[in-house]
Amino acid sequence: MSDTEFYDLELGSSRLTAVIKSVEIKKVLTKTDNPSSPEKETEKLFIRAEDTDGAKYLINEAWIRDHNQQIVVKGMWVKRDASSNKLFSGKSNLLTQLLTSLRVTKVSELIGKEVAIEPKENNYMAIVLY
């Protein structure tokens, strides 16, 4: 880097950003507290995103502020009304929070949107929603 290039460096964002390339809802098995039915099938959103350096990420969780104002990681579980096939729009629905923060109303409209991402403890990325 030349002196001129060095002096022209500007303050950037403190967060890594990535563009959503694809979205997919997958059925996954989760554990329950019910001994007669120890697992249940639920749906989770999986996002493929790419940063400006070309690194690719598979993301299915987000950093949020919980009801105690603590910053935590939560999964992007799909909570929908089976009769209308629409998402529940409560504050506890992380997918609803993601759609609202990106100003879209459909999961398909997430494609092409830029999101802030940060690594979790295991270095897998999660979207920042707080």
Q: Is 43 within 8 Å of 77 (Cβ atoms)?
A: yes
Q: Is 106 within 8 Å of 86 (Cβ atoms)?
A: no
Q: Taking Cα atoms as reference points, which of 66, 58, 30, 71 lies closest to residue 124? A: 58
Range in 15-19, 36-40, 48-52, 82-86 the model is least confident about: 82-86
Give the pLDDT confidence score for residue 31 in this predicted structure.
Answer: 85
56-78 b/e (C-beta count within 10 Å ≥ 16 → b): ebebbbbbbeeeeeeeeeebbbb
Please state the domain extents for the chain. 14-128
- The structure's pTM equals 0.81
Instruction: Give per-residue pLDDT as tens, 60-95.
Output: 999 999 889 999 999 999 988 777 778 877 767 889
Instruction: Give per-residue pLDDT as tens, 48-63.
Output: 999 999 999 999 999 9
